[in-house]
Amino acid sequence: MKRAAIVFDLDGTLVDSLPDIIASFRWAFGTLGLPAPGETAVRGEVGLPLEAMYARFAPVEAVEALARAYRRHYPQHLADRSRPFPGVRELLAELRGRGYAVAVATTKRSEMAHALVNAMGLTAQVDHVQGTDGFAHKPAPDVVERALAALGAEGRWMVGDTVHDVMAGKAAGLRTYAVTWGTHDEATLRATRPDVLAADLQQLMPVLQRTEMV
């Protein structure tokens, strides 16, 4: 029997990383002498691939240069203000103690995703980190399915903070738990009809205990 797995998004779900992402994203505009969009506008686009985010705010000919600037800056500043959300370390440890495999499935490239997980001290609590490297991004299910394949596990729940996470989880055939402390607000997430919608991750373990047998 395959091990049951819980798949988590990274930014805005496990880690409060949006301030550092947004700061680096906006910083890149200055390298090209372009006006930077406001923080609120950028926040709403987090979860898309980097180039797609820049395409929302910049001329098409500037997108690649902006992305390169971001990728120079962000690795040096990914832990300036980023921290795991309250209770995340304990939750991941409890999940693994109860027999679940824990996977991260993120739109970040794998190298950067590993760097952030390590910087946040979560490496020992995660069985596999899967970035999006040259294949379809969320809301397509590819990154979720690749994470599960790498673990040889059966996916049970997708946990995320954006509509892209919920849609990817549904497309992969998983139940979905949407948390509102990250990128998208309650009303936006509710429109995607996740199985559970909560302010934080505190309800995840009780939900699993009611619905799962491991």
Active site residues: 9, 11
Torsional sign, CA 67, 60, 36, 38: negative
3-state secondary structure of 101: strand
3-state secondary structure of 46: strand
Q: Where are the alpha helices (DSSP H) in 9-132?
A: 18-31, 39-43, 50-55, 63-77, 88-97, 110-119
**Token digits of residue 58:** 């910049």
3-state secondary structure of 131: coil
- Judge contact between 116 and 26, C-beta under 8 A: no
